[in-house]
Structure 1
């Protein structure tokens, strides 16, 4: 039988590790970048991987119950990582900083365009579209250095997935295409993008048949109604 003082020490150590995990996750989540378990193990658990698996369910419960956050596991060919997302719908834009409002509006425009174009868009086409919206010269008066925001920041935050396109032999110019990233799938609804575009063009959402069907076949809580 484990003596009471030793048991209390073990429980105190587990509590300290758990709190350290929560602090680390909350701090890193402000950058919206992916979190790797190996970094948590290194920073919070003295390199003990088994402790991560043991404490993870308790940490996820506290993040949800106390902070309204989900700690989502994402798997890719290169391995798995975690994304922190809110359980609540976004609040009023007036609660955000100016930079957050600018970035979020730019992101919504980009995600909507990618969705309406079938899910993938090459870089020249994407920036050609933004040019038509007078989002061209940098720094832009509202969106600032928007190209870096799109090609680097949104990609690092996993709002966008950036893939290199295989070019024909002899063509040394690199080209990239963009699609929705894991965080976009977690935080945005394609239905909202479709309704936004339909409203702009003064059309019914159902007139975009492929996108309309995709929205209604996705695992979303409410089917899109005709407007």
Structure 2
């Protein structure tokens, strides 16, 4: 872990009065990356604060003593710092271990490790589209996996910045829930709710206008076409075959369900369509395997016939 990041975390732990404006954190990946990742954590923090303010505080929370609120604030802080840390490790493709997380981030809050890790993993999934998997239960080694498998990661390899898969999964979800075809206006309506506006730079995702009709269309995740017989012309988005190859309607629905803290089956109509899509994919795999098996068998017979028997 970089010395600058260690110093910053120690400073937060010892005294919480330091102004962020006066910080001089060093990052071997450059100031832009450090600022972007820090902004991502601020974005998560603001979203969670808004969500907490939308409903009345439960009575059980109102009755808690001040010491519990202080403890809870410390745990919340650890969640946000851990997100920062995990994104940093993801960008550098470094191994993630429980030992390192406890030593560098969790520290004296080790008893809350599972809660902190679970909440941080939830933010990584819903905001950035990264799944956290424990690949070695004995040594507690974890990896972050892009929800669109490795091909989208490969596309981003030239710039290991903030992953945009979560946003793409949300766009695919809007298209799916709008009958597999969403107008440009419907997509922008969703993006505006998330704080992304056309022509306005976003501190995490950049220029949304560049993402939609440029990056994701050019990379064959989305199809951008004119609505038939529209006058004046209107445009719409569909899934490109590459999106169908790298994810499924069920996976997108599961992603949306987690964002809304519910289950995929709660969206009954879309859930049934996703189930049909899963069945069709399974049948297609059976047919493909049968075709490959038949071709291999035919090739084997042809080779057998081409050689004389003793």
State the TM-score, normalizing by the size of structure 1.
0.50
TM-score, scaled to structure 2: 0.37
The structure that is helix-richer by fraction is 2
Larger radius of gyration: 2
